[in-house]
Amino acid sequence: MVRLRLKRMGRRNRPFYRVCAIDKRAPRDGRAIEELGFYDPIEAAPEKALQLNAERVNYWLSKGAQPSQTVRDLIRKAGITPATASEPATSA
C-alpha cells in the first residue's frame, strides 16, 4: 500500500520535510516512489513554507494512497480538494 507521508531532511534543530508517496513498509527516510512537494515548519512566510504539486497529490489519492494525519492536514492547508469520482473517464 502506498502512503503519502513526510520524509525528514535538514540538519539538527532545523527540520525540513518532503511530502512523498512511499510504500507503507519503507523506513521514514527511505526511498520514495515520488516526491510531491515540501514543508518547512520554520519558514515565516506561508507561501514559502508549504508547496505541493496538487495534480500529483490528486493522482495518488485517486489511486488509493492513504495520507498520514499530518499530510492530510497539510493538504487541507494548501487548499487541495481531491478530484471527485463523478468525473467522466477518458477512453483512448
Helix, strand, coil proportions of the chain in percent (round to 5)? 25, 35, 40
* pLDDT in the model for residue 80: 87
Which three cell numbers, joined as nine digits, stand for 23? 510504500
The pTM assigned to this predicted structure is 0.81
Nearest-angstrom CA–CA distance, 62 and 85: 8
17-71 tens-digit pLDDT: 999 999 999 998 889 999 999 999 998 887 889 999 999 999 999 999 999 999 9
Q: What domains lie within the chain, and their CATH numbers?
A: 2-78 (3.30.1320.10)
Nearest residue to 56 (alpha-carbon basis) of 33, 76, 77, 40: 33
* pLDDT in the model for residue 81: 81
* pLDDT in the model for residue 46: 79
